[in-house]
Structure 1
Amino acid sequence: MEPDEYDLMDAAEARMWWYRALHARVTDALLRRPGPGGVVLDAGCGTGGLLARLVPLARPLAGLEFNPAAALRAAAKSGATVAAGDANRLPFADAAFGALTSCDVLCHRAVDPPAALAEFHRVLAPGGTLVLNLPAYNWMHSAHDERVHNSRRFTAGGARALVASAGFAAIEARYWNALLLPLMILQRKVLKSDAAHDSSDVAPFPPWLDATLHGVTAAERALARLGLRYPAGGSILMVATRP
């Protein structure tokens, strides 16, 4: 990512509505499908917001981050062991982890999705859980994608096929951030301007707006827990098992 994007992430991820919603979804997935126990790896952990959120799970935590300075921030923030390294070539032993999370990493231009997924498969123990978050729809590509060096976005069907081809089973691929998708389209495709060509979506929101947006995501999450599935959304949450 652009170097100053790490500063924005580090400052915002504990309280910004988007990160809180994402971290809640990932935590739900790990509680529902914890895998065989053991260490949880967050591959592409950024400045450590998700790792910090996972501390109450009372499982050993580890992180991997390409940017060494961000890796140091993640370790300080979460107390986890965080290595600096490449998702395409994980510096870990085979079957070292009981679960692996990776949020908005396979979309990066420096990441080769088949290679990274092969590595995720390799370092997970048999029965281990994989949790991925992916941005949805190439036509939603925006200035923020450019700032964070995203070169691809996904559909649920395409992501499912990609994960299956890496040898994973029991694959779930579900859209989320569905209720706010119309606002995302408005912001990214209708109201965009040339002046915002290098803008980031990570920024302080007025408290009332942040609370409103988070409330929408919380309502959507509650409906999903009741079994409602969404035909579209701004992101895709995937859960799979390494056989």
Structure 2
Amino acid sequence: MNVDEYEKMFRLEGRLWWYKILHERVAEALTTHFGTNRNVAILDLGCGTGGLLNYLHRQGYTHLRGLDGSADAVAFCHERGLAVSQLDLNQLTDFEPATNYDAIVCNDVFCYFDDPALTRLLSALAHRLKPGGLLISNNNAFNVFRGQHDLAVGSSRRFVVANFERLLPPAGLRIGRATYWSLALSPLILLMRQWQSLQLKMGWRTEANAQSDVYLPAPWLNETLYRIVKVEQKLLPRTPFGSSLFVVGSRGEGGKV
């Protein structure tokens, strides 16, 4: 992503409904697996500008580490005072090979890797997880949602559950839970993406100046969207469709997923 996209992410991660939902989902997965233990070692791989790490720190987690391939993203993390290092994620195998983690989070990271590179990354992740360790990953879902946002952030692919059912086991990982979200907002998101596609086809906007969906709506609308998704999560813990796919997996058989 370009520095403008990182700057938007840095400003909005703590307020935008989508980020708030995602951060809460990650925290819920950690609590389900580790209970009240806040001293577990957590790595946020591809941590962006550090919004999730900042959120987890406020939740009381004490052993947090982040890695990202972008110097811009790492600079924003350092503004937050976070322990984040710059690393080409393809080089994870060689980075501090003796360090292992109880949980690794990879949110919207896998979309930058083709299958061979992703297979290598997943194997490296499995080796960095302690036995029974947790893998948490949010991902772009379903190609029908592909639009200007993907172009703006450089995303090259979208996923369905079957992709992870195929890719995780050879790396020594298993899926515990997977769900798409948000079903209720899917018609609105699809309509917006179709409008974006029309803009590109008509030449009203070019790929070079494509813009992401990272912007803060009016406070009442931001809160309404947040509440809609929270109600959906309560009524429908798993849904069959949505623009994002949240996956919780683990290494080996230990622990509860």
Q: What TM-score results when the alignment is normalised by the length of structure 2?
A: 0.86
In structure 1, which of residues 66, 80, 83 is the aligned counterpart of residue 82 of structure 2?
80
CA distance in 2, matches of 1:191, 1:73: 29
Asked if residue 96 in structure 1 is aligned to residue 100 in structure 2, the reply is yes
Deviation of the 1:196 alpha carbon: 4.3
For structure 1, list consecutive stretches of 5 or more residues without a partner in the other structure.
none
What are the residue-to-residue correspondences of 1:173-192 with 2, within 5 Å? 173-190=178-195, 192=197
Query: Contact 1:95 / 1:125 at 8 angstroms: preserved in 2?
Result: no
CA distance in 2, matches of 1:158, 1:12: 30
Asked if residue 233 in structure 1 is aligned to residue 237 in structure 2, the reply is no
Deviation of the 1:94 alpha carbon: 4.2
What are the residue-to-residue correspondences of 1:73-222 with 2, within 5 Å? 73-77=76-80, 79-90=81-92, 91-94=95-98, 96-108=100-112, 112-190=117-195, 192=197, 193-194=199-200, 195-197=204-206, 198-222=210-234
For structure 2, list consecutive stretches of 5 or more residues without a partner in the other structure.
253-257
What are the residue-to-residue correspondences of 1:54-73 with 2, within 5 Å? 54-55=56-57, 56-73=59-76
CA distance in 2, matches of 1:73, 1:45: 11
Distance 1:84 1:67, change over 3 A: same
Aligned CA-pair RMSD: 2.0
The answer to which of 29-38 and 6-15 deviates more is 29-38
Query: Contact 2:41 / 2:101 at 8 angstroms: preserved in 1?
Result: yes
The one-letter amino acid paired with 1:204 is L
Identity %: 35
Q: What TM-score results when the alignment is normalised by the length of structure 1?
A: 0.91
Query: Contact 2:3 / 2:72 at 8 angstroms: preserved in 1?
Result: no
The answer to which of 176-185 and 163-172 deviates more is 163-172
Deviation of the 1:190 alpha carbon: 4.3
Distance 1:196 1:16, change over 3 A: farther
CA distance in 2, matches of 1:9, 1:196: 22
Helix, strand or coil at the partner of 1:104: coil
Deviation of the 1:235 alpha carbon: 0.8
2:255 maps to none
1:30 maps to 30
CA distance in 1, matches of 2:5, 2:159: 22
In structure 2, which of residues 43, 48, 51 is the aligned counterpart of residue 49 of structure 1?
51
The one-letter amino acid paired with 2:7 is D
Helix, strand or coil at the partner of 2:89: coil
Distance 1:191 1:88, change over 3 A: closer
Helix, strand or coil at the partner of 1:27: helix
Query: Contact 2:6 / 2:72 at 8 angstroms: preserved in 1?
Result: no
The answer to which of 182-191 and 24-33 deviates more is 182-191
CA distance in 1, matches of 2:99, 2:165: 22
Deviation of the 1:159 alpha carbon: 2.2
CA distance in 2, matches of 1:8, 1:128: 32
